[in-house]
Amino acid sequence: MTNDELPGLPASLPVIDAKAEPTLRSAAAEAFYTHAIRELAATDIPFLVAGTYAVSAYTGVVRQTKDLDIFCKAGDCARILEHFKNIGYAVEIRDDRWLGKVFEGKHFFDVIFASANGTMQVKDQWLEHARQVELLGSRVRIIGPTELIWSKCFIQDRGRHDGADIAHTILKAHDQIDWQRLLAYLDVHWEVLLMQVLNFRWIYPSERDRIPDWLLDELLGRLARQRQLPSPKMKI
């Protein structure tokens, strides 16, 4: 498949050589994901591969994965689910605000169009800044490193925290991150970005210069100004 065969994307979309791919639990899982990717790539529905596959591609970190994360715009989620339902797969709308699923027995992949907390929606900009990669025998779009970090910033709860994925992505792909765009994405939630930046600096003290000085100055400046203001009245 050539660049021109990827619907909705410019021919100049960068191609990356994936550093690694996750390991799968079984040959049956690999067959399911291979077929699912081939089916998606054959449609005219724009989508992005994200999650563990994207982290492995950018960082070389290899770990076992239980699923596949497919990102799309909200209006395309139902199209993807309908396509797989029509060819015999079980589908489920897990949460109408952000998540659908496609099943083959115990194997599944997620169709994601927003974040669970409603702060992030997949939009055209994600597709414009995607990369191309060979994955399971198909040429597909993979989420760009800037959007990959954004997609993981709010995954921090009792059961899961993706701070390590963010730190590894900064370490290996810092020169590909659009820090201005990342700050714009997280403008309202700048404290979350500051937390991730400080976490990286603590984990990799000899690579602290991979965070731009202007970004750290901007975030610390916001913190200093915030400290001079009264606490908000609204309790969250």
pLDDT of residue 6: 54
pLDDT of residue 56: 92
pLDDT of residue 17: 76
Find the CATH number of the domain harbouring 92.
3.30.460.40
Q: How many angstroms separate the CA atoms of 224 and 159, rounded?
A: 32
State which of 143, 176, 197 marks the end of a domain. 143
If DSSP states are collapsed to H, E and C, what string results for 140-151? Answer: EEECCHHHHHHH
Tell whether the model's pLDDT for residue 36 goes beyond 50.
Answer: yes
236 within some domain = no
3 within some domain = no
**What is the number of domains present in the chain?**
2
Residue 180 shares a structural domain with residue 122: no
Torsion sign (Cα): 4, 7, 8, 9:
negative
Which tens digit of pLDDT belongs to each residue from 185-235?
999 999 999 999 999 999 999 999 999 999 999 999 999 999 999 999 998
Tell me the HSE value of 215 on the side-chain side, using a 13 A CA sphere. 25
173 within some domain = yes
Q: How many angstroms separate the CA atoms of 142 and 133, rounded?
A: 7
Residue 29 shares a structural domain with residue 134: yes
- What average pLDDT is seen over the chain? 91
Contact (Cβ atoms closer than 8 angstroms) between residue 159 and residue 138: no
Residue 53 shares a structural domain with residue 115: yes
Provide mean pLDDT across the span 154-169: 90
136 within some domain = yes
pLDDT of residue 160: 84
Residue 76 shares a structural domain with residue 191: no
Contact (Cβ atoms closer than 8 angstroms) between residue 77 and residue 37: no
State which of 97, 114, 143 marks the end of a domain. 143
Rounded to 5°, angle at Cα 112 from 107 and 116: 110
Chain centroid offset of residue 40 CA: 17
Tell whether the model's pLDDT for residue 26 goes beyond 70.
Answer: yes
* Domain hosting residue 24, numbered range: 13-143
Tell whether the model's pLDDT for residue 16 goes beyond 70.
Answer: yes
- 124 against 20, higher pLDDT: 124
pLDDT of residue 158: 79
What pTM does this model have? 0.89
